Copies of this chain bind each other. A is one copy, B any other.
Amino acid sequence: MSTMPILTDEQLTPEAAAVFAEIRALRKTDFVNNFWRVLANDPPALKRTWESLRQVMGPGALDPLTKELLYVAVSMANSCEYCIRSHTAAARARGMTDAQYMEMVSVVAMAAETNRMVISLQVPVDAAFLPEQPGPFNQV
């Protein structure tokens, strides 16, 4: 149960309703999921978050499936069940297979294991991994 109400379309402010209309138009579906319905309790936060998400997840240097995989992987690292499930659905809609999903789980878990080894042992960064830095880096 959410800590704030899951708003129905009838309960939206005009500002929130306008965001819902954009979500529906871009996604080509009438379905608006609970995340937006709870966030709609704060219309400016709803609008800001939707616009940021649209910008970050829109066309760019990485292909849409890779971006969704990254979103799911980070949600796994952050233990967010809702986010794992909603972005897994989005990744499947973009073509993710079961084999890719299971492989991603192994990468996420393997990274968790070696991340923890490195931190536990306080391994210092090899000079080879530091960026060469012609100028601006040296200012700091």
> In A100-140, which residues have CB < 8 Å from any B CB?
100-126, 128-131, 133, 135-137, 139-140
Cross-chain contact A5 with B74 (CB below 8 angstroms) = no
Instruction: Give 11 A-B pairs besides A62-B100, A76-B116, A87-B111 with Cβ atoms closer than 8 angstroms.
Output: A5-B133, A5-B136, A49-B117, A52-B52, A56-B110, A61-B102, A66-B69, A70-B107, A74-B74, A74-B112, A76-B120
**How many angstroms from the CA of A55 to the CA of B45 in the assembled complex?**
9
A33-58 vs B, CB cutoff 8 Å, 1 = contact: the mask equals: 11100110110110011001101110
The bracket for how many chain A residues form the interface is: 35 or more
Alpha-carbon separation in the docked complex, A103 to B89 (Å): 22
Question: Chain B's nearest CB lies how many Å from the CB of A92?
Answer: 10
- Whether B120 lies near A108 (C-beta < 8 A) is yes
